[in-house]
Amino acid sequence: AFDVVRPGGAFYAFVRAPGDRATAFVEKAIKDNVLVIPGNVFSEWDTHFRISYATSDTEIERGVRILRGLV
């Protein structure tokens, strides 16, 4: 399970990455064709990643399946 920071009206969410570094998780996700952005682009912490949900339900479901498989 992922811990998600509740969005404040935007079309993206910050999700706590498993492991010690979000960038390592993001690199794995990108290799599996899921584009997420490491949180350290937006803050000094490398603990979360940003994911957009401004896409179809089908794409969100595909992305979630892949991300779960990386844990």
User: Tens of pLDDT along 13-47?
Assistant: 999 999 889 999 999 999 999 999 999 999 898 99
Query: How high is the pLDDT of residue 5?
Result: 87
Sequence length of the chain is 71
Helix (H) or strand (E) holding 13: strand 12-16
23 with 30: CB under 8 angstroms? no
Provide the residue ranges of all domains of the chain, joining segments of one domain with +: 4-70
Query: How high is the pLDDT of residue 2?
Result: 87
Query: How high is the pLDDT of residue 6?
Result: 85
On whether the 4-70 domain is CATH 3.40.50.720, my answer is: no
9: confidence class by pLDDT, cuts 50, 70, 90: confident
Query: How high is the pLDDT of residue 1?
Result: 73
